[in-house]
Amino acid sequence: MLAVEGLAKVYPTGKKALGGVDIVIDRPQLVAVIGSSGAGKSTFIRCINRLVEPTAGRVLLNGQDIVALDRKGLRAARRRIGMIFQEYNLVERLSVMQNVLSGRLGYVGLLAALRYRFPPQDIQAAFALLDRVGLAGYHDRRADALSGGQRQRVGIARALMQRPDLLLLDEPTASLDPKTSRQIMRLVRELVAERQTPAIINIHDVALARAYADRIIGMKDGLIVFDAEAGSLTEAALTQIYGEEDWSSPQEEDEDIPAGAAAMASLGMTS
């Protein structure tokens, strides 16, 4: 399904964001990417669909190298990659239905897109998705009238309207409260299984990653330092990803504690 080979990103300043990343996702699964701020997680996610242009490497989605595509080919390829953002990226003044249907803009003509005129089957699919993500009856609401969790559900429905071969999620729970974050993660995991669509999620919350992901990739300094089933994420692995810390002791959250520390306490790994 997805093979990433030697993916690298070096910015004009000389900063190396990715140092040569290799992964293979050969079945539908939810893959969580964790690591400290600056580890390269967002760059990795965004290089896959070329929101950030890689410096080197290949991204093979069902055998097609996304990195080698010209602008026209990239537009077509992005139809098959659903992207879900931390800040939702909805058009606030438009309705929920219009935002969801925007996931089909790449499949209709320009005039129809400007007028938001879509085939009946697309409209039916949008209603079905709104029902599936828990927003039945919200189709006429303006996006700016929704809560954060509801907006993220609209973003998920919009991405699924593309009927993607791959889902990318960039910090989708960062702006949500703990309960809503769990609901969103549970929904994503269920949709991966139902639609047989692999998903990669960049996430800071180690507890959520361990609870809902099938596989966890740990990044440090632009490199993958851990890649295994979620249940294999040990204290030693966390030290490898985040640095030395007493993971068995409860910690008060502050800016100096690595992102995983407080999360591990919530997993019951306390003295």
Residues 70-124 have pLDDT tens digits of: 999 999 999 999 999 888 889 899 999 999 998 988 787 666 766 778 889 999 9
> What would the mean pLDDT of 199-218 be, rounded to a whole number?
95
Q: What is the pTM of this model?
A: 0.87
**What per-residue confidence (pLDDT) applies to 250?**
55
Q: What pLDDT shows up at residue 263?
A: 42
Contacts (Cβ under 8 Å, ≥6 apart) of 54: 7, 8, 9, 18, 47, 67
% pLDDT > 70, the chain: 88
CB of 157 within 8 A of CB of 133?
Answer: yes
Tokens of 227: 């890649």
CATH class belonging to 26-49+70-266: alpha beta
- Sheet architecture: strand order including 16-25: 16-25, 2-10, 56-61, 64-65
Residue type, 151: R
* pLDDT for residue 214: 97
Model pLDDT for residues 10-67, shown as the tens digit of each residue:
999 999 999 999 999 999 999 999 999 999 999 999 999 999 999 999 999 999 999 9
CB 166 within 8 A of CB 135: no
Given a cut of 50, is residue 267 above it in pLDDT? no
Confidence grade of residue 243 (pLDDT, cut at 50, 70, 90): confident
